[in-house]
């Protein structure tokens, strides 16, 4: 999809802040620091649309970006950030869970995992939530540039086995090189085109 416009619309901490204008939402979830904000910037070819940081826990609210006036990209705060202040941790689960379970415009969840690591406790919890709410999801292995081509399959298999998905359905992605961008856009476009 050719991105002609990408703009920050609003940040929300609860249901009252969700945009509800009938435009489909695509949400990005995953551990803190996994590369959610970088992936969004890469998809829309804007380096600074979403703030990224090497310090985990940068994104603390649900941020909505409108793409081409026909799609919302939803950047969710990362989970599993142990050093977040207690208050932030306590608010995280209900904020994300209510969005994932109750937002009627949510059409696709892009579930990000670092290609280098086996899914952890929080990743498995997220998988269970997505399964429970039957939200359509695509699994993305981020930071693919950090693993040599020869070792990719081994890493992808560890992720797909743990999540119970097919290895060939896992999109290998790098915000650095742009690898996987075309494939991910195909999945996302299938959601926004079917309106
Ligand atoms: P939170 O907002 O804290 O949940 O983090 P996030 O998931 O949005 O991660 P963010 O995009 O801020 O990236 C975290 C760090 O990983 C930054 O230092 C990025 O530069 C780096 N990073 C993200 N994607 C890639 C990638 O594809 N390759 C490499 N090598 N580094 C990446
Ligand atoms: Mg972020």
Give tens-digit pLDDT for 41-90: 999 998 888 877 776 665 678 999 999 999 999 998 887 655 555 555 55
* Confidence (pTM): 0.92
Question: So what's the pLDDT on residue 51?
Answer: 79
Using CA atoms, how far apart are residues 71 and 158, in angstroms rounded to an integer?
32
Closest ligand 1 atom to residue 54 Cα is 18
Answer whether 136's CB lies under 8 Å from 165's CB.
no
Structure-block tokens of residue 168: 């060939």
Within-domain flag for 132: yes
Q: Give first-to-last CA distance, the chain, whole Å.
A: 15
Question: 95 lies in a domain?
Answer: yes
Confidence band, pLDDT 50/70/90 cuts, at residue 153: very high
Query: Hey, CA dihedral for 91, 132, 119, 41, is it positive or negative?
Result: negative
pLDDT at 122 > cutoff 60: yes
Q: Residue 89 has what pLDDT?
A: 57
Is 142 within a domain?
A: yes
CATH number at residue 127: 3.40.50.300
Residue 33, ligand 1, Cβ within 6 A: yes
The whole-number pLDDT of residue 88 equals 53
Q: What is the pLDDT of residue 127?
A: 92
Structural domains in the chain (count) = 1
Question: What domain range is 28 assigned to?
Answer: 6-192
Buried-exposed string 59-79: b where 16+ CB fall within 10 A, e elsewhere: bbbbbbbbbeeebbbbbbbbb
Contact 58, 52 (CB under 8 A): yes
CB of 179 shorter than 6 A to ligand 1: no
Nearest protein Cα to ligand 1, atom 29: 143
**Gyration radius (Cα) of the chain, Å:** 16
In a domain, 1, yes or no: no
What is the percent of the chain with per-residue pLDDT over 70, rounded to a whole number?
A: 88
């Amino acid at each position: 999809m050719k991105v002609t416009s990408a703009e920050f619309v609003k940040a929300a901490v609860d249901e009252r802040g969700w945009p509800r204008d009938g435009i489909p939402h695509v949400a990005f979830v995953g551990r803190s620091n996994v590369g959610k904000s970088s992936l969004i910037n890469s998809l829309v070819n804007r380096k600074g649309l979403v703030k990224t940081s090497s310090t985990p826990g940068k994104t603390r609210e649900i941020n909505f970006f409108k793409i081409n006036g026909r799609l919302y990209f939803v950047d969710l705060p990362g989970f599993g950030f142990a050093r977040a202040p207690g208050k932030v941790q306590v608010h995280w689960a209900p904020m994300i869970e209510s969005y994932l379970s109750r937002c009627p415009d949510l059409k696709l969840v892009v579930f990000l995992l670092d290609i280098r690591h086996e899914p952890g406790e929080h990743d498995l919890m997220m998988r269970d939530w997505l399964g429970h709410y039957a939200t359509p999801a695509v699994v993305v292995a981020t930071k693919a540039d950090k693993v040599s081509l020869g070792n990719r399959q081994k890493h992808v298999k560890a992720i797909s086995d743990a999540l119970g998905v097919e290895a060939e359905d896992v999109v290998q992605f790098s915000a650095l090189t742009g690898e996987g961008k075309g494939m991910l856009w195909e999945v996302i476009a299938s959601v926004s085109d079917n309106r």
